[in-house]
Structure 1
């Protein structure tokens, strides 16, 4: 069955209000609603809602949006989505990614793993953290370099997503890893991936808002901390991250655009942490810092 996507672009505050209104209005029609950041610097966010072509909810869309008091919203655009086997298409497009000694792949590519590679199996349906984004691959490459140089005794994967980095650390270093995320659903997915990759004896998960979690405090300090999130949260977390870093420990940060690099480094420099190396993949950078 074909679908129709209705979408508009606006600032974050307005996008949040429109998302909430659409989500409530069309909940009973099983019409998926989503919001995505398009351009952080320009404050452009896109809100989308998807209707099956035989659904009547789309006829109410303008009225629902117009009812938001005091808001002048941009014109709602329309796109027809063809009937496609999305999983088959995604699997075809998501080729295995090699980063250092790691290969991140789906179950359909198990046969291509080389004898000297460390396999991290993440299914394509779990989009965040499949290893295909430059930030994830950059972190894996940096982890490979650091563990070759000095094997840490424990590690924290902050904002773990699908747990791809935690799994990689556990397979490479065979050490205890704590994988945390603010999203309980992400933690459930992470736990499934950890078990599927055979490292549940090494990697533990916890729901945690930033560094404020008893689980984080109990397992720290950490000789390796990795955080692949976004630049602003990374800057805000600098004091707490420094407080959980063991003497001689390493920090790997990503989710950072090249233009944000200096601001992130400055936030950590004020905590007595120093830049050692930058890896670049496209517009994204991965940073290595120590005391």
Structure 2
């Protein structure tokens, strides 16, 4: 059955966008609907709020979606779009070519013949979890991972927000150390574990579903010599003190999922938490930031 997307457009600030997400989460947080907010015009402060549902649910969901927002955002405009029933995994693979980041070559199963003998090949097919290596944030992380693992001794690592598992797999491919890979989404954790098995490194990676740093998994593995978090700028800034608290003296942090315009906010948050900025890699409007912690 086709999926329906209902979109709301509103001119507001980032605070207003957070309020929209809060209202939608309150209205639909206990139900199985995907909701999201995205800034589509930074200069004009235009935000889009979306909810995805099955066509059969529109009669019930649309009035509730409009009602939860109309009081605080009466000027908003609403559109609907039917999303055809397409095999998106197969469709997305049609245009995906192997991606090289240093010695890493991230490829789909349809491009195994492109792997060269010297490559650190990671096979990831597009699927239910984020991270095929084609996004600038993932490729930037891979490039820094190679440099860090080559230049310093790493005894254990954390991939926070592992998605498809590509970064945890990359670390394990380079050095045979224990890696903790966590995500708030249990589906992502399952997919990441399957990807690790496909890449023959599942034995060395502990995959866990963990919201934030509250899980016992972090205490069991910390402190980490290397922490990688390819998430988004806002949660990265918020979790800076906790993340640094789990980092070993002399440890390395690699952060991405950060728009170029957000770079200085992230650097300020982690500098305040005691880290030193080493360098920033720029890819297609996104940045990957490398920090270290003094041995103290």
Task: Specify if TM > 0.5.
Answer: yes
**Aligned position for 1:44:** 47
Deviations 1:156-182 (A, max 9, x none): 111111111000000011211111112
**2:117 paired with 1:111:** no
Contact 2:161–2:230 under 8 Å retained in 1? yes
Match of 1:14 in 2: 20
Given that 1:19 and 1:47 are in contact with CA atoms closer than 8 Å, whether structure 2 keeps it comes out as no
Q: Which residue of 1 aligns with 2:13?
A: none
2:71 aligned residue: 70
CA distance 1:207–1:77, change in 2 (3 Å): same
Deviating more after overlay: 152-161 vs 232-241: 232-241
SS of 1:124's equivalent in the other structure is coil
Alpha-carbon RMSD across the aligned residues, in angstroms, is 2.7
Question: TM-score with structure 1 length normalisation?
Answer: 0.85
Q: Distance in 2 between matches of 1:242 and 1:249?
A: 9
2-side partners of 1:128 and 1:164: how far apart? 9
**Aligned residues of 2:136 and 2:283 also touching (Cα < 8 A):** yes
CA 1:20–1:147: 2 relative to 1, 3 Å: same
Q: How many residues align?
A: 282
Q: Distance in 2 between matches of 1:65 and 1:174?
A: 49
Decide whether aligned partners of structure 1 residues 15 and 267 sit closer, same or farther in structure 2, where only a CA change above 3 A counts: closer
2:141 to 105, 127, 139: 139
User: Within 5 A, what are the aligned runs for 1:117-132?
Assistant: 117-132=119-134
- After superposition, where does 1:70-219 map in structure 2 within 5 Å? 70=71, 72=74, 74-81=76-83, 84-219=86-221
Q: Call closer, same or farther: CA 1:2–1:158 in 2, change over 3 Å.
A: closer
Q: Secondary structure at the match of 1:76?
A: strand
Unpaired runs of at least 5, structure 2: 11-16
1:260 partner SS: helix
Match of 1:286? Answer: 288
Whether the 8 Å contact between 2:254 and 2:288 is mirrored in structure 1 is: yes
TM-score (norm 2): 0.83
Q: Is the 8 A contact 2:160 2:229 kept in 1?
A: yes
CA 1:226–1:2: 2 relative to 1, 3 Å: closer
Give the 3 Å change call, closer, same or farther, for CA 269–103 of structure 1 in structure 2: same
Q: List alignment gaps of at least 5 residues for structure 1.
A: none
Matches of 1:50 and 1:285, distance apart in 2 = 33
